[in-house]
Amino acid sequence: MQPLVAAILVGVPLAWLVGFAAYAYVDAPKHGMNPRKWAVIAFVVPLFGFLAYVFERDEQGYDPETDPYAEGSEERTGGFAVHESRQGEKRLGPAGTEAEGDEDDEWNDPDGVDL
C-alpha cells in the first residue's frame, strides 16, 4: 500500500475522532459534565460516543429576566425589539428611502381606506 493512501485512510478518521473528543472536552463544562470522561468516550467509541455525548448533555438554560428582547421587557418599545445601537435613527420608507414624516399611518393606506 502506498504511504499516501495509508496516511489518508488512517489520518482522516483519526482527525475526526480527535476533533469529536476536543469538542466534547471543551463543551462539557458548559453543561456541567465531566470533560475528560466524555472526551475519552467520544474518542474510543467512534461516532456513537460523540452522538451519545450530544444527546446526553442538557440544553443550556434560558432566563427571560436577563433577556432585554424578551416579551414584556422594559427596554422593549412598541411591538418590535430595537437594538440599543439602532435607537434614535430615522425610519426608512419604501426601497430604503427616508420616511417622509413621523405619521402614525404605518401602512400608508390610500385616501378613503379606514381600518
pLDDT tens for each residue of 35-67: 999 999 999 998 899 999 999 887 777 777 777
pLDDT-based confidence at residue 74 (cuts at 50, 70, 90): low
CA 95 to chain centre: 29
Total domains in the fold of the chain: 1
Task: Report yes or no: 33 and 8 within 8 Å, Cβ to Cβ.
Answer: no
pTM (global) more than 0.75: no
Higher pLDDT, 90 or 29: 29
> In which domain, by residue range, is 9 found?
3-56
25: number of CA atoms within 13 Å, CB side? Answer: 10
Please indicate, yes or no, if residue 103 is contained in any of the structural domains. Answer: no
Q: Which three cell numbers stand for residue 6?
A: 495509508
Please indicate, yes or no, if residue 90 is contained in any of the structural domains. Answer: no
